A = this chain, B = another copy of it.
Amino acid sequence: MAEATTIDHDRHRRTGSAEVIYAEFKTPEQVIKAFKSIQDSGQNVLATRVKQDAFDLLSSEIEGVEFFESARIACWKGGDHQPDTPATSIGIVTAGTSDLPVAEEAAVTAEFYGNKTERIFDVGVAGVHRLLRRVDRIRTCRIVVVVAGMEGALPSVVGGLVDKPVIAVPTSVGYGAAFNGIAALLGMLTSCASGVSVVNIDNGFGAGFLANIINRL
């Protein structure tokens, strides 16, 4: 079964990015094996949902690996080719403190691919003035990632304030009728603001990755 995980080294040529390691259900040994395989092909390496034990192993065996704790991301940027940095920034907006890990996953992912980011955190809709005070800063970004749990209303408000693409990320933050992110997901899909699209619950990586693609158009 040694060949069960076939790293898709051709992916970089085909879609412009190296394969990414989703570490959630992998053992530390599986993570490090996949990590080295991509590293050996000369590419930068990004691993998401990395737990402390996997990072400990990574940092003891691989020089130069970085760990972003709240983002749960481990990465290595010693590849043969480094991405250039677009002139424009990616905005990362969050509703509450609890959404921070998902927002950081999006931000660190975008930065891994060479982008500048603007973090505008804790501007939930129940205190809309906090958001309005930051609108000018949000408007300087080329794309806006909006991360929110509970009722997930923030993308609707942001989408009505800017003329940029909004990538909405529902989070599983909440309880009761939040149903682990379903309330936020439905709220974002039915947003009355145009220009909003949605990724999976808690999928900070997907939002950061897509923001990078759009920022490079």
Contact = CB atoms under 8 A, between A and B. Distances in A.
A27 B163 CA distance: 30
A200 B213 contact: no
Interface of A: 1, 3-6, 8, 10-11, 14-17, 20, 24-26, 30, 70, 95-98, 100, 104, 121-122, 124-130, 132, 142-143, 150-153, 156-157, 159-165, 167, 170, 172-179, 181-203, 205-207, 209-210, 213-214, 217
B153 A125 contact: yes
5 contacts: A4-B122, A17-B163, A126-B157, A128-B160, A194-B210
A189 B194 contact: no
Work out how many copies of this chain go into the complex.
Answer: 8
A126 B160 contact: yes
Given A16-B163, A125-B160, A189 B183 contact: yes
Given A1-B70, A142-B217, A153-B157, 8 more contacts: A11-B127, A125-B193, A128-B157, A151-B152, A176-B203, A183-B189, A186-B187, A195-B210
